[in-house]
Amino acid sequence: MATVALTMDTFEKTILEGGTVFVDFWASWCGPCLQFAPNYEAAAEANPDLVFAKVDTEDQQQLAAAMNITSIPTIMAFKDGIGVFAQAGALPRPVLDDLVSQVRELDMDQVREQLAREEDGQAS
Protein backbone atom coordinates (compact mmCIF):
# COMPACT_ATOMS: atom_id res chain seq x y z
CA MET A 1 0.00 0.00 0.00
CA ALA A 2 1.32 3.42 -0.89
CA THR A 3 1.65 6.15 1.69
CA VAL A 4 -1.28 8.47 2.40
CA ALA A 5 -1.06 12.23 2.83
CA LEU A 6 -2.53 13.51 6.08
CA THR A 7 -3.99 16.93 6.75
CA MET A 8 -5.42 18.67 9.79
CA ASP A 9 -8.82 17.32 8.67
CA THR A 10 -7.76 13.66 8.28
CA PHE A 11 -5.05 13.21 10.92
CA GLU A 12 -7.15 12.37 13.98
CA LYS A 13 -9.55 10.06 12.12
CA THR A 14 -6.62 8.16 10.57
CA ILE A 15 -4.84 7.76 13.92
CA LEU A 16 -7.98 6.64 15.75
CA GLU A 17 -9.31 4.29 13.07
CA GLY A 18 -6.14 3.13 11.33
CA GLY A 19 -4.96 0.41 13.73
CA THR A 20 -1.18 0.77 13.42
CA VAL A 21 -0.18 4.05 11.80
CA PHE A 22 3.29 5.40 11.04
CA VAL A 23 3.58 9.10 10.23
CA ASP A 24 6.51 10.79 8.48
CA PHE A 25 6.65 14.56 9.02
CA TRP A 26 8.68 15.97 6.12
CA ALA A 27 9.19 18.90 3.73
CA SER A 28 10.24 19.05 0.09
CA TRP A 29 13.25 21.29 0.85
CA CYS A 30 14.61 18.89 3.53
CA GLY A 31 17.54 16.81 2.22
CA PRO A 32 17.37 14.12 4.94
CA CYS A 33 13.60 13.87 4.35
CA LEU A 34 14.15 13.19 0.66
CA GLN A 35 16.86 10.62 1.43
CA PHE A 36 14.55 8.85 3.91
CA ALA A 37 11.53 8.81 1.58
CA PRO A 38 12.52 5.67 -0.43
CA ASN A 39 13.05 3.68 2.80
CA TYR A 40 9.67 4.80 4.09
CA GLU A 41 7.94 3.96 0.79
CA ALA A 42 9.62 0.52 0.76
CA ALA A 43 8.44 -0.16 4.32
CA ALA A 44 4.91 0.86 3.30
CA GLU A 45 5.00 -1.56 0.35
CA ALA A 46 6.37 -4.37 2.56
CA ASN A 47 3.66 -3.89 5.22
CA PRO A 48 0.36 -3.39 3.37
CA ASP A 49 -1.66 -4.19 6.50
CA LEU A 50 -0.33 -1.07 8.25
CA VAL A 51 -0.94 2.60 7.47
CA PHE A 52 2.06 4.65 6.40
CA ALA A 53 1.19 8.33 6.24
CA LYS A 54 3.06 11.52 5.46
CA VAL A 55 2.54 15.08 6.64
CA ASP A 56 4.04 17.85 4.52
CA THR A 57 5.07 20.29 7.26
CA GLU A 58 5.12 23.22 4.82
CA ASP A 59 1.55 22.59 3.68
CA GLN A 60 0.30 21.51 7.13
CA GLN A 61 2.07 23.96 9.43
CA GLN A 62 -0.81 24.02 11.92
CA LEU A 63 -0.76 20.20 12.22
CA ALA A 64 3.04 20.13 12.58
CA ALA A 65 2.80 22.75 15.34
CA ALA A 66 0.02 20.83 17.09
CA MET A 67 2.23 17.72 17.09
CA ASN A 68 5.23 19.73 18.40
CA ILE A 69 7.36 18.97 15.35
CA THR A 70 10.60 20.95 15.75
CA SER A 71 12.87 18.91 13.48
CA ILE A 72 12.29 16.95 10.29
CA PRO A 73 12.07 14.26 9.33
CA THR A 74 10.22 13.11 12.43
CA ILE A 75 8.72 9.64 12.55
CA MET A 76 5.78 8.86 14.81
CA ALA A 77 3.98 5.58 15.38
CA PHE A 78 0.47 5.12 16.74
CA LYS A 79 -1.24 1.89 17.67
CA ASP A 80 -4.91 1.71 18.58
CA GLY A 81 -4.99 5.51 18.71
CA ILE A 82 -2.09 5.76 21.20
CA GLY A 83 1.24 7.37 20.36
CA VAL A 84 3.91 4.72 20.96
CA PHE A 85 6.97 6.20 19.23
CA ALA A 86 8.33 9.57 18.13
CA GLN A 87 11.84 10.38 16.94
CA ALA A 88 13.42 13.04 14.80
CA GLY A 89 15.91 11.94 12.16
CA ALA A 90 15.99 9.74 9.11
CA LEU A 91 16.09 6.05 9.99
CA PRO A 92 18.17 3.59 7.97
CA ARG A 93 16.00 0.88 6.42
CA PRO A 94 17.06 -1.89 8.89
CA VAL A 95 16.24 0.39 11.83
CA LEU A 96 12.87 1.31 10.29
CA ASP A 97 12.09 -2.37 9.70
CA ASP A 98 12.98 -3.13 13.32
CA LEU A 99 10.74 -0.29 14.51
CA VAL A 100 7.84 -1.65 12.45
CA SER A 101 8.36 -5.09 14.01
CA GLN A 102 8.52 -3.69 17.54
CA VAL A 103 5.35 -1.63 17.11
CA ARG A 104 3.60 -4.59 15.49
CA GLU A 105 4.46 -6.78 18.52
CA LEU A 106 3.45 -4.26 21.20
CA ASP A 107 0.96 -5.59 23.73
CA MET A 108 -1.47 -2.68 23.87
CA ASP A 109 -3.13 -3.98 27.06
CA GLN A 110 0.24 -3.57 28.79
CA VAL A 111 0.71 -0.11 27.23
CA ARG A 112 -2.74 1.00 28.45
CA GLU A 113 -2.01 -0.38 31.96
CA GLN A 114 1.29 1.51 32.05
CA LEU A 115 -0.38 4.73 30.90
CA ALA A 116 -3.06 4.31 33.58
CA ARG A 117 -0.38 3.81 36.26
CA GLU A 118 1.46 6.92 35.07
CA GLU A 119 -1.74 8.95 35.15
CA ASP A 120 -2.56 7.67 38.65
CA GLY A 121 0.92 8.62 39.82
CA GLN A 122 0.59 12.14 38.45
CA ALA A 123 -2.91 12.58 39.87
CA SER A 124 -1.82 11.97 43.47
- Distance, in Å, from the CA atom of 72 to the CA atom of 62, rounded to the nearest integer, reads 15
What residue type is 31 in one-letter code? G
- DSSP structural state of residue 70: -
Catalytic option among 33, 51, 64, 100: 33
- Distance, in Å, from the CA atom of 55 to the CA atom of 80, rounded to the nearest integer, reads 19
Catalytic option among 30, 50, 75, 91: 30
Catalytic-residue membership of 33: yes
Catalytic-residue membership of 30: yes
Nearest to 3 by CA among 118, 33, 31: 33
Catalytic residue list: 30, 33
